[in-house]
Copies of this chain bind each other. A is one copy, B any other.
Amino acid sequence: MSSGVTFVPGFRASGVSCGLKKNGNPDFALVVSDVPAACAGVYTRNVVKGHSLQLCAKHSALGTAQAVAINSGCANACLGQRGADDALKMAQMVAQKVGCPVSQVLTGSTGVIGEPLDMDKIADGVQKAYAALSTQGGEAAAHAIMTTDTLCKQVSAQCTLGGKTVHMGAMAKGSGMIHPNMATMISVITTDANISAETLKVLIKDVADSSYNHICVDGDTSVCDTVVILANALADNEELLPGQEDYQAFVQMLKEQCLKLARMLAGDGEGATKLMEIHVNGAASKQDAKLIAQAISKSPLVKTDLFGEDANWGRILTAAGYSGGCFDPEKVDLYINSIQVCGQGCALAYDEAAVKQTLKKNAVTYRLELNQGTASDFMLGCDLTLDYVKINSDYRT
């Protein structure tokens, strides 16, 4: 059984080493659809944008794609015309191999900023990756897009729509520089559903908002964040359109898979030992809940405290307090997993040993009940650890 992007009929993929990564790990991934596919993407909102991403955004806006080529080990960013030229060359090489127009090739690059792509290595990567394309290649592709990820991240699912089986597969990478206000990291989603590029365009933004945009690893937003979806229509279902029951089922499947990937991404944050979920309920507005959840998820003090498996919950209230979200501090209840530690803004005499115990889990949920209204939001984050600092203080060396 094939996994990830090649779980879907009509897609082949591969992941190879072309020498961009000094350690020799796979660093070039290729995903190809047997037929031209409808496509859409969401991209970083950073003012600074990688060159490969800029080309990808331009091509995906046309609505049809047949290949996605992604290298790791180099971001191809902040290089002026040279960076733009290199991204285009990469797309041209892939187009020539696949036999499709260059505008149907989507490109991605992830790694260090400011260093130019070694185009000889890229040429080698395209050559090898094309030769290695396989209906079993999803996992290899997912490996080749990893940077500081410790786990390969892919999901797949299927459902029956109008009597036809519709498949979906996806891979994602990214563990540092992950924060909302962007699509987040690099993710490629494949499906054999019959759905138009116009419909996908609206849908993918909605899906990213409800999954990837709830992740915060370090509050930084990369210049290369990309989510693209390709739909090759080989399932032969009736075209999915908003309003249909089938469309809803498809959307739900897509959101669930992306949320699964989002949890994997947060839990595999650089150096992370724990997934941290923050749920803010009872807010007067969605915006209040969002600001509060985001501030807590970004707070280095909250994150280091979780690493220490310590219940210094004042830091959580402190972060809520400076978030810009409105609430009455004297109405807040705070729970660590199922244990309430603070009631109406005041310390409770909770069982310290029980809290210590619950903080040892791999996933910890902080839940704030603001008791102001009915709006809620959540964030997925992780702890801030010694390894995070180690990884990021000698990333280039």
A: which residues have CB within 8 A of B? 45-49, 75, 77-80, 112-116, 176-177, 179, 181-182, 218-223, 298-301, 304-305, 307-308, 310, 312-315, 317-322, 326-327, 329-330, 342, 344-347, 384-386, 388-390, 392-397
The residue from B79, B116, B312 contacting A395, defined by CB atoms under 8 A apart: B312
User: Judging by beta carbons under 8 Å apart, are A388 and B300 in contact?
Assistant: yes
Majority secondary structure, A binding face = loop
List chain B residues, Cβ under 8 A from A326: 47
User: Judging by beta carbons under 8 Å apart, are B177 and A113 in contact?
Assistant: no
User: Judging by beta carbons under 8 Å apart, are B347 and A78 in contact?
Assistant: yes
User: Judging by beta carbons under 8 Å apart, are A176 and B301 in contact?
Assistant: yes
Q: From A309, which residue of chain B is reached at the shortest CB distance? A: B393
List chain B residues, Cβ under 8 A from A114: 313-314, 342, 347
List chain B residues, Cβ under 8 A from A395: 305, 308, 310, 312
List chain B residues, Cβ under 8 A from A396: 310, 312
Q: With the chains together, A310 CA to B394 CA distance in Å? A: 7
User: Judging by beta carbons under 8 Å apart, are B386 and A177 in contact?
Assistant: no
Q: Which residue of A79, A177, A318, A390 has the most chain B CB atoms within 10 A of its CB atom?
A: A318
List chain B residues, Cβ under 8 A from A179: 322
User: Judging by beta carbons under 8 Å apart, are B218 and A48 in contact?
Assistant: no
List chain B residues, Cβ under 8 A from A344: 80
The residue from B115, B222, B329 contacting A48, defined by CB atoms under 8 A apart: B329
Q: With the chains together, A222 CA to B123 CA distance in Å? A: 53
User: Judging by beta carbons under 8 Å apart, are B390 and A346 in contact?
Assistant: no
Q: With the chains together, A158 CA to B376 CA distance in Å? A: 54
Min CB distance A215 to B, Å, is: 14
The residue from B319, B346, B388 contacting A79, defined by CB atoms under 8 A apart: B346
List chain B residues, Cβ under 8 A from A182: 322
List chain B residues, Cβ under 8 A from A115: 347
Min CB distance A278 to B, Å, is: 15
